Copies of this chain bind each other. A is one copy, B any other.
Amino acid sequence: MDQLLAFALEGIGEITEGTDLGEVIREVSAGTLRDGDILVVSSKIFSKAEGRLVRSEDREEAITRETVRVVATRTHPGGVTRIVENRNGIIAAAAGVDTSNTAAGTVLLLPLDPDASARRLCRSLRASTGLRLGVIMADTLGRPWRQGQTDAAIGAAGVQVLEDLRGTRDRSGHLLKASVPAVGDEIAAAADLIKGKAEGVPVAVVRGLSRFVVDDADLDTTPGAASLVRPAAEDMFRQGSEEAYAAGYAAGLAARPAGD
């Protein structure tokens, strides 16, 4: 019977700049990992290992520096929420800038190139274990329209993140026209259920999905989590409704018919 198993990898200590994540994970997972396993790793420990914990007295200023494009801004009693796009095309509140779990006067920024970070870790773990493993870098994202947050894949290596079923047929023989499950995000979500927020468990193992894990020869050609970012031209929600309305209003006001 097909089944999915997810469990936390216990025993990972504090990660600081320069920590070799591959080495740490290999040590705590000795004898645990199996061929086809997918490791779901919090972006937070990649960030720490890569020295992305930076001094900043001003969180808002740090967010501005990480922002490529402002998508929407909202003022509420607790302050201002900025939904922005970062250099990797990830759209997130506060550009993923994190101040939980960091010392006062510091902020934790997302890795510069999450797919590259995942690829390095994947190669390291494959080399040291001899196993065909996948790596997903997970971060917690809010969603338009829906309450709460889910974990999603912002980096990936060694594992397919989209399962393109278009052109295949279902059990009744009907053509599946639009089915492209975002399995990378679903795997990150499944792992979040056992990692928990408060416990601070940064790595989970997801087992039973080896069909999505690729061979060594395909590591470089398998698209990473960047392929989960919808291209701008296909994005119907590229701006917040208020921002788009305001831009339209200004353009309408400026476009008065000749002769007025």
Contacts and interface: CB of A to CB of B under 8 A. Distances in A.
Interface of A: 1-8, 10, 72, 74, 78, 83, 91, 93, 100-101, 140, 143-152, 162-163, 165, 168-172, 174-183, 185-187, 189-190, 192-194, 197-200, 208-209, 227-230, 235-256, 260
Nearest to A200: B171
Nearest to A184: B148
B236 A83 contact: yes
A144 to B, nearest CB: 4
Contact of A150 (B2, B3, B78, B181): B181
Given A245-B245, A252-B248, A192 B186 contact: yes
Residue of A163, A185, A248 with highest tally of chain B CB at under 10 A = A248
Contact of A3 (B172, B178, B194, B239): B194
Taking the full assembly, how many copies of this chain does it contain?
Answer: 2
Contacts of A244: 239, 241-245, 248
22 contacts: A2-B8, A5-B5, A72-B237, A91-B145, A100-B174, A100-B177, A101-B172, A143-B182, A144-B144, A144-B236, A147-B228, A147-B229, A149-B179, A150-B182, A181-B192, A186-B192, A190-B193, A237-B240, A239-B244, A244-B244, A248-B251, A248-B252
A63 to B, nearest CB: 14
B253 A186 contact: no
Contacts of A74: 236
A1 B5 contact: no
Given A144-B144, A185-B189, 14 more contacts: A3-B194, A101-B174, A144-B236, A147-B182, A149-B178, A239-B244, A242-B244, A244-B244, A245-B247, A246-B248, A249-B255, A252-B252, A252-B253, A260-B260
